[in-house]
């Protein structure tokens, strides 16, 4: 109730603030304004249309949402003209009244003139969109690296709610586990991403909570090693969540989304110039979610707000201020459990946790980005960011305590539940400075990046006493026992675990265009990491404080070559490495050296049929030749049982191939799809069997989405789509240890599956309705975390979104 009260109070303040912004934007207006939105015969927004006010000779281009805006227009009657290739030019008279904002929408009709056999519409292709996470504006076609951008059009059509739904469109990057239903663990090419590999607007983002999708403009994925840009990131790739930015034209959207299991989610997005200024623009995204679940007794509630401000501090300087606040409360859910490494056969809806289980996360962030253009070809960019992540949870422990029958030694479904309480507070600071520029030395064109960054994690976690035996339930017969519903007091220990991580890095990268056909990318980064920890060990009931300290540094090179036999084809090969700091000590109690991970990548990128279809092929090998494992013997040659004493004796090798396909809209049809194969194994190990596969990585993934927008006038504005996703066999459980006689650890085979979703959308001017049915075949499969947290996927569900463009 306290949370709901504070949320309600905060919402009231937010709405008053929004109303104030909107009122002040018009109250101080001294002139009239003209705005509108242009759509195609199919009801889609017409982007990049040239709009002209003839009498004033004012011109503008429509945004990706089809909107245009003329500021400070004197009162009078004007001729408004809209032109776009493939459509008939449109002229209409419009009257602008004094001291008012006039709205005038247009519909562009298809031209009767034959421009070719097909009509093509769409934005930049898969190989044309530069990534902001790449720090320099290099087209993906020129990069010796596999990259993917999932833009707002796909996010809206698919009504994405969680990040894993977006990544079903990205081959080689996938959901590894759901961590008790409170977060999504993402992996790529055999390696877990973690918070080190997840970014929001270029700053690291703690993915211990599911990110809010309604505020995103796009999701950027750079596969493979990116250590030169970001330091110690995992080898599989990085994700960057790009939020919607301020605009000087007024507009926005209000929407309501409803769905199965009491799901409802209102959202608001507004943007425009403050007081009609040409120097200051704002944007405000906010949403509230309240939902049940197909899992009995599992609920979720969240509130999110994302304000941003763009200030043109001068003709050459922009200041972008962004912040967000997320409050997420949901029921922890560790799934149906596994008995003796076999998934429990219980109904998909059965929840095994305590009724009062709750996970609370509060996340705040603020980012300031200053961009100064020294010259048309040179730019300085400074980014400073702060993030505070606070998480608290009380829940039953993972379902591991299954009780054997005293009669025959079998398991009858009795589960001894434990109870645990956890908390964590993390403060993250980032400062980053980049200089980018283009210049020539003779006939060679250079795109140079020189930069430095420094960041700091300050993490503190209190320790609570865990109840090993809270109560007993039966997973097959819930009525067999009365579950305990009272909330006991879990005493807090007298210590906190503290950890401070400091990182610095300097880097230089140059992209050289040697000729029209040959290009080279080369760079080097130096990184240093200092980690200081303070924790506790418990020996015979006595608490003992311990401190740890480590310092690591590494050089991370990157080199790649690109050959373009035609302007629409690229062949590339690249090498890069990354490093990962290791915990624990060697047999002499010295900090372990970091692991250096080498990656080789070759591929081909194509823009086929004059850019109508992007088709890319990538092959890679990633090798960690110094993976840490528990040391077999200590410094005296005796068998070692201390898991914190380790040696860099293992080797992990990941190999794979990826195919990415994306088309423009052709006569109303568009396609997005691809395939990936990955094989990640222990190729050397003193602990595990050689060639054992690593857990949670699907061997195969594939996706295909087909959309059609009706062209004729009777069904104008209607679009249909089907999307599918395939995940091959995966492994959960635990790898058997060679060093433990009769080891009980076993791997759990998770079945492969195919999901089909259906999409229907209809747009009428500013109003649109989207319908979605997920998991059409009602397929049952599982995601896993650790050896006993086995979470079934959602059954067939329905969702609808009604939205209105402001």
Q: Domains (ranges, CATH) in the chain?
A: 26-107 (2.60.40.1120), 251-360+379-805 (2.40.170.20)
Q: Give residue 25's pLDDT band: very low, low, confident or very high (50, 70, 90).
A: very low
Residue 727 clears pLDDT 50, i.e. is over it: yes
pLDDT surpassing 60 at residue 729? yes
Query: Which DSSP letter does residue 355 get?
Result: T
Confidence category of residue 29, pLDDT binned at 50, 70, 90: very low
291, two tokens:
């939902």
Average pLDDT over residues 22-43: 62
Q: Which string of DSSP letters, residue by residue, matches 408-426?
A: TS-EEEEEEEEEEEEEEEE
CB 402 within 8 A of CB 415: yes
Q: What is the pTM of this model?
A: 0.86
Q: Map residue 659 onto helix, strand or coil.
A: strand
Please state which of the ranges 80-89, 390-399, 538-547 shows the lowest mean pLDDT: 538-547
Query: Is the pLDDT at 671 greater than 90, yes or no?
Result: yes
* 521 pLDDT tier (thresholds 50, 70, 90): very high
| pLDDT higher than 90, residue 409 | no
- What are the angstrom distances between the C-alpha of 555 and each of 356, 527, 597, 598? 49, 6, 12, 12
Range of weakest confidence among 119-128, 255-264, 276-285: 119-128
Q: Work out the end-to-end distance of the chain between its first and last CA atoms, rounded to an integer number of angstroms.
A: 34
Q: H/E element holding 470?
A: strand 467-474
- The per-residue pLDDT for range 735-758, each reduced to its tens digit, is 998 888 888 899 999 989 999 999
Q: Whole-angstrom Cα distance, residue 324 to residue 444?
A: 43
Q: How confident is the model at residue 649 (pLDDT cuts 50, 70, 90)?
A: confident
Q: Give the pLDDT confidence of 556-577 residue by residue, as tens digits.
A: 999 999 999 999 999 999 999 9
pLDDT at residue 7, as a whole number: 45
Structure confidence at residue 36 (pLDDT): 86
Other Cβ atoms less than 10 A from the Cβ of 141: the count is 23
Q: Could you give the 3-state DSSP secondary structure of residue 761?
A: strand
The residue written with tokens 């040697």 in the block is 514
Nearest to 267 by CA among 310, 302, 298: 302
Q: What is the DSSP-derived secondary structure letter of residue 585?
A: B
CA distance linking residue 319 with residue 373, whole number of Å: 12
Q: What is the mean pLDDT of the chain?
A: 88
Q: In 514-591, which ranges are E strands?
A: 518-539, 542-566, 569-580
> pLDDT-based confidence at 694, cuts 50/70/90?
very high
Enumerate residues 6+ apart whose C-beta is below 8 A from 664. Answer: 120, 121, 122, 123, 125, 611, 612, 613, 670
pLDDT digits (tens, 9 = 90+) for 84-139: 876 788 888 898 888 788 888 888 876 655 444 444 444 566 777 777 888 888 88
Q: How confident is the model at residue 289 (pLDDT cuts 50, 70, 90)?
A: very high
Distance CA 562, CA 247 (A): 37
Predicted local distance difference test score (pLDDT) of residue 771: 97
* Short-list 326, 452, 318, 369, CA closest to 202: 369
Tokens of residue 427, six digits = 């403060």
pLDDT band at 543 (very low <50, low <70, confident <90, very high): low
Q: How far apart are CA 496 and CA 533, in angstroms?
A: 11
Predicted pLDDT at 76:
86
Give the whole-angstrom CA distance, residue 629 versus residue 645.
8
Distance of CA 280 to CAs 16, 33, 212, 232, Å?
A: 20, 17, 26, 37
Structure-block tokens of residue 207: 């993915």
pLDDT for residue 710 is more than 90: no
Mean pLDDT of 322-333: 96
> Which SS3 state, helix, strand or coil, does residue 779 take?
coil
Share of the chain above pLDDT 90, in %: 60
Give the whole-angstrom CA distance, residue 87 versus residue 81.
12
Q: What is the mean pLDDT of residues 461-469?
A: 88
pLDDT of residue 457: 95
Cα-Cα-Cα-Cα dihedral sign, residues 566, 569, 571, 576: positive
Q: In a 3-state reduction of DSSP, which class is residue 228?
A: helix
Phi, psi dihedrals of residue 480, rounded to the nearest 5°: -65, -40
Residue 157 in this model has a pLDDT that exceeds 70 = yes
Cα–Cα distance between 461 and 79 in angstroms, integer?
65
694 DSSP 8-state letter: P
Residue 794 tokens, joined: 């959602």
| pLDDT of the residue at 460 | 92
Task: Name, in order, each residue with C-beta under 8 angstroms of 174's C-beta and a sequence gap of 6 or more.
Answer: 164, 167, 186, 187, 188, 697, 698, 701, 727
Residue 486 has φ and ψ, to the nearest 5°, of: -75, 150
Contact predicate 352/399, CB 8 Å: yes
Q: Mean pLDDT, to the nearest integer, of 701-721?
A: 88
Give per-residue pLDDT as tens, 297-323: 999 999 999 999 999 998 899 999 999
Res 166: pLDDT = 94
| Cα 396 to Cα 331, 392, 423, 563, 594, distances in angstroms | 11, 14, 15, 57, 36
Q: How confident is the model at residue 23 (pLDDT cuts 50, 70, 90)?
A: very low
> Burial, 441: exposed, middle or buried (Cβ in 10 Å; 0-12, 13-18, 19+)?
exposed
596-640 residue pLDDT tens: 999 999 999 999 988 889 999 999 999 999 888 888 888 888 888
pLDDT tens-digit series, residues 344-368: 999 999 999 999 999 999 999 999 9
3 state DSSP class of 142:
helix
Q: Which residues contact 746 (CB under 8 A, 6 or more apart)?
A: 341, 733, 734, 736
pLDDT at 494: 66
Q: Is the pLDDT of residue 528 over 70?
A: yes
CB 332 within 8 A of CB 357: yes
- Asked whether residue 492 carries a pLDDT value surpassing 90, the answer given is no
CA 581/CA 693 separation, integer angstroms: 23
pLDDT on residue 31: 59
**Whole-number pLDDT of residue 338:** 92
Q: Is the pLDDT of residue 699 over 70?
A: yes
């Amino acid at each position: 109730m306290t949370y709901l009260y504070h949320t309600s109070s905060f919402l009231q303040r937010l709405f008053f603030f929004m109303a104030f912004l909107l009122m002040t934007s018009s109250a101080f207006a001294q002139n009239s304004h003209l705005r509108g939105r242009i759509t195609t015969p199919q009801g889609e927004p017409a982007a990049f249309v040239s709009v002209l006010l003839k009498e004033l000779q004012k011109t503008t281009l429509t945004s990706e949402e089809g909107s245009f805006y003329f500021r400070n227009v004197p009162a009078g009657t004007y001729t408004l003209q809209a032109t776009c290739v493939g459509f008939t030019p449109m002229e209409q008279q419009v009257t602008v009244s004094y001291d008012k904002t006039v709205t005038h929408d247009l519909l562009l009709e298809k031209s009767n003139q034959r421009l070719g056999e097909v009509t093509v519409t769409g934005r930049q292709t898969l190989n044309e969109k530069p990534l902001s996470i790449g720090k320099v504006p290099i087209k993906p076609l020129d990069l010796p690296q596999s990259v993917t951008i999932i833009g707002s059009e796909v996010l809206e059509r698919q009504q994405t709610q969680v990040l894993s739904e977006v990544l079903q469109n990205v081959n080689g990057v996938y959901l590894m586990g759901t961590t008790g239903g409170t977060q999504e663990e993402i992996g790529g090419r055999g390696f877990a991403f973690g918070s080190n590999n997840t970014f929001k607007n270029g700053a690291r983002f703690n993915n211990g909570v599911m990110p809010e999708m309604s505020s995103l403009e796009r999701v950027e994925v750079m596969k493979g090693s990116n250590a030169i840009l970001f330091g110690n990131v995992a080898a599989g790739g990085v994700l960057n969540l790009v939020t919607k930015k301020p605009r000087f034209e007024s507009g926005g959207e209000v929407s309501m989304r409803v769905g199965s299991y009491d799901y409802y989610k209102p959202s608001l997005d507004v943007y425009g110039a403050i007081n009609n200024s040409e120097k200051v623009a704002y944007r405000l995204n906010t949403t509230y979610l309240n939902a049940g679940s197909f899992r009995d007794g599992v609920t979720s509630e969240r509130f999110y707000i994302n304000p941003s401000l763009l200030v043109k501090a001068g003709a050459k300087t922009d200041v972008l201020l962004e912040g967000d606040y997320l409050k997420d409360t949901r029921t922890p859910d560790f799934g149906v459990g596994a008995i003796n490494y076999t998934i429990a056969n219980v109904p998909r809806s059965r929840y095994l946790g305590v009724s009062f289980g709750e996970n609370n996360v509060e996340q705040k962030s603020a980012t300031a980005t200053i961009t100064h253009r020294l010259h048309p070809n040179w730019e300085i960019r400074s980014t400073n960011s702060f993030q505070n992540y606070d998480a608290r949870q009380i829940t039953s422990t993972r379902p591991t305590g299954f009780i054997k029958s005293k009669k025959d030694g079998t398991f009858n479904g009795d589960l001894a539940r434990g109870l645990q309480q956890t908390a964590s507070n993390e403060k993250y600071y980032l400062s980053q400075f980049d200089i980018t520029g283009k210049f020539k030395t003779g006939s060679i064109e250079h795109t140079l990046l020189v930069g430095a960054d420094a960041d700091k994690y300050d993490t503190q976690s209190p320790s609570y006493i865990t109840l090993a035996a809270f109560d007993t339930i039966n997973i097959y017969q819930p009525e067999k026992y009365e579950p305990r519903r009272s909330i006991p007091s879990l005493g807090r220990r007298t210590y906190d675990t503290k950890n401070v991580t400091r990182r610095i890095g300097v880097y230089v990268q140059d992209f050289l265009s040697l000729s029209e056909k040959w290009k080279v990318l080369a760079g080097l980064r130096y990184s240093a990491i200092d980690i200081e920890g303070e924790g506790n060990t418990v020996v015979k009931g006595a608490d003992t404080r311990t401190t740890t300290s480590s310092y690591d540094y590494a050089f991370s090179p990157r080199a790649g070559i690109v050959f373009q036999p035609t302007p629409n084809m690229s062949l590339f090969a690249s090498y890069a490495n990354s490093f990962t700091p290791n915990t624990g000590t060697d047999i002499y109690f010295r900090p372990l050296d970091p692991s250096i991970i080498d990656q080789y990548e070759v591929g081909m990128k194509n823009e086929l049929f004059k850019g109508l279809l992007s088709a890319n092929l990538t092959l890679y090998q990633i090798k960690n030749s110094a993976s840490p494992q528990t040391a077999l013997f200590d410094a005296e040659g005796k068998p070692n049982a201390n898991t914190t004493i380790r040696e860099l004796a293992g080797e992990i090798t990941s190999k794979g191939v990826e195919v990415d396909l994306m088309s423009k809209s052709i006569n109303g049809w568009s396609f997005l799809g691809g395939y990936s194969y990955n094989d990640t194994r222990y190729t050397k190990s003193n602990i595990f069997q050689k060639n054992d596969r690593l857990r949670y990585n699907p061997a195969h993934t594939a996706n295909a989405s087909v959309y059609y927008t009706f062209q004729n006038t009777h069904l104008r504005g209607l679009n249909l789509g089907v999307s599918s996703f395939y995940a091959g066999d995966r492994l959960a459980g635990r790898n058997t240890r060679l060093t433990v006689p009769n080891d009980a650890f076993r791997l759990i085979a998770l079945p492969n599956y195919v999901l089909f979703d259906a999409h229907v959308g209809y747009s009428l001017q500013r109003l649109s309705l989207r319908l979605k049915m997920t998991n059409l075949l009602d397929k049952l499969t599982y995601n896993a975390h650790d050896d006993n947290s086995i979470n079934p996927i959602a059954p067939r569900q329905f969702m609808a979104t009604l939205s209105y463009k402001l």
